[in-house]
Chain A
Amino acid sequence: MSLWIWLLVACALAYAWKIVGYFVPARFLEDPRTSRIAGTMTIGLLASLTVVNAVVSGQGLAADARLGALAAAGIALALRAPFLVVVIAGAGAAALLRFLGWN
């Protein structure tokens, strides 16, 4: 139940960011720092989410089939594969490694 509450809060705040953009004076945007922080935070969060989903298990680190997924996704991206193909490559690599016995 509490997940619902935080989920709806997240939805409300997401819309708040969007609508605020339409109402703040344009000069606020002229401070390059604002868009710099929005940009670096996007990079930082996505990098962090990648790592967490690849090697974090609870409050520890684990090297398992997900590392294979990371490698496969990296190769697919380097070959300029479209998003869905990258995701399928990641899933396929993890599934295959598990099938071969690497947890």
Chain B
Amino acid sequence: MKLLASPAVKVGISISIATGLYGISFGALAVTSGLNIWQTMALSLLLFSGGSQFAFIGVVAGGGSGIAAMSAATLLGMRNGIYGMQLNALLRPTGWRKYIGAQLTIDESTATSTGQADPDEQRRGFWAAGVGVYVLWNLFTVVGALAGSGLGDPKQWGLDGAAVAAFLALLWPRLKGREPIAIAAVCAVATVLAVPFVPPGVPILVAAVVAAFVGWFSHGRRDEGLEPDFEPYAGHGHGHGHQRAAGGKLPGAPGAEGTEPGAGA
């Protein structure tokens, strides 16, 4: 198998397993937050973006309306548009590959692809991670949903605590440096302050507006917060923000700061 000799495919497969496994927690939390199994599966099959899916069920679990859940999920999905632009510049997909590739455009497939230096490896990395995560994420979503619906009282099992932990774990890899921590703190405070005044679910959207404001007026790293949930190249040195900047650098993009060319190789 020549394909398995490709370093990008190897990374893609291992990231697929790591990400796929946490589909279990998504499936279980989705059904305990009030979605039925079909709705849970629809999110993994059609929406297919971990952060957005957790956001959707997180809002529903807190008593938020469908429209608030949809809004939070959609705002979190904006970064996939940025990834799409990067990947389009990097891989130049044509025809059906564009439309299928778009659905597979998520944190993990982008990070696996942009972490490679060779164009063929970038392509293999994207498809290996994209298809791999899609298949396993959906498989484990069903496993989690079936397990979750058989649990009885979810609170007794601490599943509301599991949701808290899941969101903190999604946030954690993005808190690199003082500025993202400050943004997280400001948004956390904004959320708490908004809670008594607006309907459930809306405080999350208030925080999103605050965060967008910060992004508009401040001048930090341009890829801040665009770290993947799982770092595909964790074993190869650190500072993947730099790898991302090197591998995913757009043609003519000014100063990917502090990056030596080819760091992602």
* Residue ranges of A at the interface with B (Cβ–Cβ < 8 Å): 2-11, 13-15, 17-24, 26, 28-30, 32-56, 58-61, 65-66, 68-70, 72-74, 76-77, 82-84, 86-96, 98
- Residue of A19, A43, A65, A83 ringed by the most chain B CB atoms within 10 A: A43
CA A42 – CA B174 in complex, angstroms? 9
* B167 engages A20 (CB within 8 Å): no
* B203 engages A21 (CB within 8 Å): no
Any A CB within 8 A of the CB of B162 = yes
Q: Determine chain A's interface SS by DSSP, over half rule.
A: helix
Any A CB within 8 A of the CB of B114 = no
Of B61, B164, B192, the residue contacting A61 (CB under 8 A) is: B192
A39-B224, A41-B75 in contact; A58/B200 too (CB < 8 A)? yes
Closest Cβ–Cβ distance, residue A95 to chain B (whole Å)? 3
Q: A4 — nearest CB in chain B belongs to which residue?
A: B39
Q: A37 — nearest CB in chain B belongs to which residue?
A: B215
CA A2 – CA B84 in complex, angstroms? 30
Interface residue tally on B, bucketed by range: 35 or more
Any A CB within 8 A of the CB of B13 = no
A8-B46, A33-B215, A60-B195 in contact; A38/B79 too (CB < 8 A)? yes
B residues in contact with A39, CB < 8 Å: 79, 174, 215, 222-226
Q: Determine chain B's interface SS by DSSP, over half rule.
A: helix
CA A39 – CA B165 in complex, angstroms? 21
Any A CB within 8 A of the CB of B31 = no
A residues in contact with B222, CB < 8 Å: 32, 35-36, 39
CA A45 – CA B75 in complex, angstroms? 8
- Residue of B65, B93, B214 ringed by the most chain A CB atoms within 10 A: B214
A39-B223, A39-B225 in contact; A24/B85 too (CB < 8 A)? yes
* B171 engages A69 (CB within 8 Å): no
* B74 engages A17 (CB within 8 Å): yes
